[in-house]
Structure 1
């Protein structure tokens, strides 16, 4: 165990420790008010993986592990789990204990009885990631890793039903509060993967009672987290209230020197501190910012289209600063990119002519204008697929694509993408019409991006059409391979770059590999990397995978983005964590300051 744990990158920082004092009760009169720019897709931990559903699922279901909120550098601690995993010296046997006395939120399926979380719930929940019917977007977390699981999955694919009662040698409850996994090989990032809510437990009774034909429960969430769903109006609002069955948990005791006052003020307080969370779905940046300025939002992740209303010369505007509003800015562990569907008959394939088409489009795209006009200089052009926030980012890499419109047009000419019917637009080499369909959403910020893409395609004399739909619908279609060309982002809850290179692993098609790349060389490099400890040898393989992605022009690499947060003077205990945006259970409100405006 000791040797294996020494390969991880979590540093132990100097911390401030305080003994627990008598608990303070959650204040049910307090309501934290926030807004999302995108609607929720659903509340099933094993069936969802989008950012905004995740914010709510974290609060409702809790997570196995989390980063200690105030400690820097980042340090893992158990949340549902009681301490970190015990890992054998060979890295193959993982023993995970859960805290005793954790109960699911009350629900009619429990028939008036309190339902304790037990180890068998974890076994059942993690099997759900393997169930082919659910089509879990995080199957890659666990696929092929558990001894004996592949046979059960193969059987389910034949019969159409996953046998949850059949034991798996590599996944079992060894007592009421302990799960043991037997891995097929060491996995050096698995603990970090368990930071995600996809590993959160569900109760089998709840799934059986509410599941849809695909085995998913998207609208009846019942978890062990600090909050439960009180109301959900799709496309409009989500209201959370305290889960009265939440375990006995107290405010963090560890932090940095600058956190001393916060830690002392909250010493011994039982979490959550605030009884209610009111989440509004406000897609456009202007009304969100107006709500924040009016005091009806307690903090706001500023939309890039509103940066000029918040920052002056990179600093918080005097108007907002005079009101005691605070500002935090940092680079997200995220990549905003545009992908081509390699199964598409127009832009797909790995033949030289299709690679040339994609490369010409990327070369013509003015990424510096994208940073300046769309991102208001709150981003950096991506020089690779792994952001600078992650281990495995290669700081020596030059920008991966050279912007050159003249060369882009020459490349298209060379591969016979020419106007063959005299309509002013290029055609395919075989004479068929060349039309690119760019998927987008109705949001104002996406219209700005669309205008930039329209100019790009016009400069190449390529006809472009825009497929305008709501983001949750596009996400579903993108996973199913139904979109030709779309832009989206990937944000990691972990510190290593593995989360980004897996986006092009062929076994993740239908999950996270929207491009649908199938390349044996890439897959072989990815699989080799999984066997290596986190460190330079593993990261060298990440660089090689990046080079393949760039050579095939699978993506327009896009940008690494900065996140700007503005915080009301009455919001207490907020500290930005790059790997998880919302820790609502630690936040508090000073209502006397709020009443003063």
Structure 2
């Protein structure tokens, strides 16, 4: 994303690259014996109200502050659910339509003026209230369309009543789908089976507890006042620059425990070192937002950051030939190479008169564009080898993902692309060197993009490969938030994006083309009844061979109509300083600050 502007706590050289007016003021003084972890985000946050965010970086901050009933075992691979605020795993009816979870008594929100000096205990009603907020039109939640597909009984009708009457959403109206039979019990009733609804209960962006007093006290400014029951609270926020979390002094007794696989030597070592330690083990967690790769890299080398996701431009320097560079090894730098549960992709607006539509010639154009672009060249040239080609719509570490499957999304065959274009009438009719539409109108592909260096490199690739088959591409640069608004409104022809999984349910990626979520998850506005019916059936089935077979059918339809071209599953290189202890990237959980420690003696020796 090309909309991050500032750098905090960087080296003097890095700071010299910034406009003086944007240099962050020093945070409040920190005791010399405080354990502080500093991490660089490559993109800006949007806020900290879970009802109004959908980006990874905001969610990572919120995951340290708010808590869902469930979470993931930090070290278990494959991933395993565990309780967080729940007293026990949730129970469900035989048909998976009724889910009941009991919240553990004695858990309290962090102190905040909204509570007027009173300790505020977490109750089941706080989860019910948080869920209702996704339906409240006031908040315009990007998560609403996902919740709508869960079919929580009564909430859609309550939302529609607020819209029709133009009156505020009535949180006090009882609904069949959200019941709190006692102070600590939450019962969620769904209009259709959902065997994986417990995964929703492990995501703070979908199930993070909110206190109504906080929302009422801060109103529209609640995104700057996240108040939760988690191990940290927000201490300082300079938008798009610096986010500081400090230990929540009222956090309950919580102790390190995990269940790594028996053959996971690194995980077993972490468990042996930390088991039984009170959490969190650090006092402060700072996130600096940096757009450019050079300041990020220089800051890490200057030991201003404890943890960094290595910028692509510096991956060959940091990890030449797949091995940590000798100079970094000598310093005790630690490397973690992670195949992310994510995907980059380009989508076509199916309502666009040029690239959209369901007729044979429109399908041929999209498939030709896909065949003409080389995903492996993207990996090797732009991503410095850090990725694997996406051959399916699903992503690694999720149910239904099969690396042996290949739906042709990464097939590169310019000869086949030219043949398709010729066969369906996309030929140069006016002799200007570019192909025209079958009716003779000029064929111009308008590709929405950003203005940062990475986007320019991707644009060069797209331009090169499209020119090779005679297709004329115009790139329309803009700021990422503005592009996103255009995309939601259906005013983008083509755009390249990335998405990271938030749970092991791989079928979530099928919702990127699910008709009822057009303009939300489904930015392609793809609408095909046969496909939508498959997705609905998949959503109501537990993991297993029968579900996987339907997932294969759904992906086959996407391969035929090509509303989306998957590109790459990214590989990330995480580097950490020798004094940062216990860090391990989790495929879905984002609250790493809960589990890490700092060796102050080792840090002092390295800095002096």
TM-score (norm 1): 0.90
**Which among 388, 406, 422 is matched to residue 415 of structure 2?**
406
- Tell me if structure 2 keeps the 8 A contact 1:335–1:559: yes
Q: Using the alignment, how far apart are the partners of 1:466 and 1:101 within structure 2?
A: 56
The range that moved more, 388-397 or 61-70, is 388-397
Shift of 1:53: 1.0
C-alpha spacing 1:443/1:83, structure 2 compared with 1 (3 Å): farther
Q: Using the alignment, how far apart are the partners of 1:440 and 1:463 within structure 2?
A: 16
Q: Using the alignment, how far apart are the partners of 1:564 and 1:445 within structure 2?
A: 17
Does residue 181 of the first structure (1) align with residue 188 of the second (2)?
A: yes
In structure 1, stretches of 5+ residues that fail to align are 1-25
What corresponds to 1:32 in structure 2? Answer: 37
SS in 2 for 1:383: coil
The range that moved more, 543-552 or 278-287, is 278-287
**Which among 345, 354, 361 is matched to residue 353 of structure 1?**
361
C-alpha spacing 1:353/1:210, structure 2 compared with 1 (3 Å): farther
What corresponds to 1:365 in structure 2? Answer: 373
Q: Using the alignment, how far apart are the partners of 2:585 and 2:403 within structure 1?
A: 24
Q: Using the alignment, how far apart are the partners of 2:357 and 2:268 within structure 1?
A: 57
In structure 2, stretches of 5+ residues that fail to align are 1-30
Shift of 1:541: 0.8
What corresponds to 1:127 in structure 2? Answer: 132
What corresponds to 2:597 in structure 1? Answer: 588
Q: What is the alpha-carbon root mean square deviation over aligned residues?
A: 2.2
What corresponds to 1:329 in structure 2? Answer: 337
SS in 2 for 1:596: helix
**Which among 459, 464, 467 is matched to residue 458 of structure 1?**
467
Q: Which string of whole-angstrom CA distances, capped at 9 and with x for unpartnered residues, describes residues 518-545 of structure 1?
A: 1101110011112222101011111111
Q: Using the alignment, how far apart are the partners of 1:99 and 1:141 within structure 2?
A: 25
Q: Within 5 Å, which residues of 2 pair with 1:79-228?
A: 79-139=84-144, 140-160=146-166, 161-198=168-205, 199-212=207-220, 217-228=222-233
Q: Using the alignment, how far apart are the partners of 2:44 and 2:457 within structure 1?
A: 21
What corresponds to 1:14 in structure 2? Answer: none
Shift of 1:546: 0.6
What corresponds to 1:15 in structure 2? Answer: none
Shift of 1:548: 0.9
- Tell me if structure 2 keeps the 8 A contact 1:46–1:138: yes
Q: Which string of whole-angstrom CA distances, capped at 9 and with x for unpartnered residues, describes residues 276-301 of structure 1?
A: 11111112233212211211111112
SS in 2 for 1:280: strand
Q: Using the alignment, how far apart are the partners of 1:460 and 1:37 within structure 2?
A: 34
Q: Using the alignment, how far apart are the partners of 1:250 and 1:343 within structure 2?
A: 52
Does residue 516 of the first structure (1) align with residue 525 of the second (2)?
A: yes
Q: Within 5 Å, which residues of 2 pair with 1:390-405?
A: 390-398=398-406, 400-401=408-409, 402-405=411-414
C-alpha spacing 1:203/1:477, structure 2 compared with 1 (3 Å): farther
C-alpha spacing 1:331/1:104, structure 2 compared with 1 (3 Å): same
Q: Using the alignment, how far apart are the partners of 2:159 and 2:412 within structure 1?
A: 46
The range that moved more, 75-84 or 131-140, is 131-140
C-alpha spacing 1:429/1:156, structure 2 compared with 1 (3 Å): farther
What corresponds to 1:575 in structure 2? Answer: 584
Shift of 1:46: 1.9
**Which among 450, 467, 470 is matched to residue 479 of structure 2?**
470
Q: Using the alignment, how far apart are the partners of 1:436 and 1:547 within structure 2?
A: 25
The range that moved more, 236-245 or 258-267, is 258-267
**Which among 294, 297, 301 is matched to residue 302 of structure 2?**
294
Q: Which string of whole-angstrom CA distances, capped at 9 and with x for unpartnered residues, describes residues 311-352 of structure 1?
A: 122111111111111111131111111111112232222122
What corresponds to 2:17 in structure 1? Answer: none
- Tell me if structure 2 keeps the 8 A contact 1:38–1:471: no
The range that moved more, 339-348 or 549-558, is 339-348
The range that moved more, 118-127 or 493-502, is 493-502
What corresponds to 1:480 in structure 2? Answer: 489
**Which among 362, 381, 402 is matched to residue 389 of structure 2?**
381
What corresponds to 2:21 in structure 1? Answer: none
SS in 2 for 1:279: strand
Q: Which string of whole-angstrom CA distances, capped at 9 and with x for unpartnered residues, describes residues 394-415 of structure 1?
A: 3442351432223322322333
Q: Using the alignment, how far apart are the partners of 2:325 and 2:590 within structure 1?
A: 23
**Which among 437, 444, 447 is matched to residue 435 of structure 1?**
444
Does residue 52 of the first structure (1) align with residue 57 of the second (2)?
A: yes
Q: Within 5 Å, which residues of 2 pair with 1:269-348?
A: 269-348=277-356
SS in 1 for 2:244: strand
The range that moved more, 443-452 or 108-117, is 108-117
What corresponds to 1:528 in structure 2? Answer: 537
- Tell me if structure 2 keeps the 8 A contact 1:385–1:501: yes
Q: Which string of whole-angstrom CA distances, capped at 9 and with x for unpartnered residues, describes residues 363-413 of structure 1?
A: 110122111111222211111101242221234423514322233223223
SS in 1 for 2:87: coil
- Tell me if structure 2 keeps the 8 A contact 1:337–1:558: yes
Q: Using the alignment, how far apart are the partners of 2:268 and 2:404 within structure 1?
A: 38
C-alpha spacing 1:260/1:553, structure 2 compared with 1 (3 Å): closer
**How many equivalent residue pairs?**
569
Q: Which string of whole-angstrom CA distances, capped at 9 and with x for unpartnered residues, describes residues 88-130 of structure 1?
A: 3332322111122222233332223222222111111111222
Q: Using the alignment, how far apart are the partners of 2:230 and 2:434 within structure 1?
A: 56
- Tell me if structure 2 keeps the 8 A contact 1:34–1:279: yes
Q: Using the alignment, how far apart are the partners of 2:604 and 2:440 within structure 1?
A: 68
Q: Which string of whole-angstrom CA distances, capped at 9 and with x for unpartnered residues, describes residues 415-448 of structure 1?
A: 3333444443333333433322222223322221
- Tell me if structure 2 keeps the 8 A contact 1:137–1:510: no
Shift of 1:551: 0.6
Q: Using the alignment, how far apart are the partners of 1:396 and 1:489 within structure 2?
A: 22
SS in 1 for 2:548: helix
Does residue 449 of the first structure (1) align with residue 458 of the second (2)?
A: yes
- Tell me if structure 1 keeps the 8 A contact 2:98–2:189: yes
C-alpha spacing 1:211/1:348, structure 2 compared with 1 (3 Å): farther
SS in 1 for 2:52: coil
- Tell me if structure 1 keeps the 8 A contact 2:350–2:526: yes
C-alpha spacing 1:560/1:580, structure 2 compared with 1 (3 Å): same
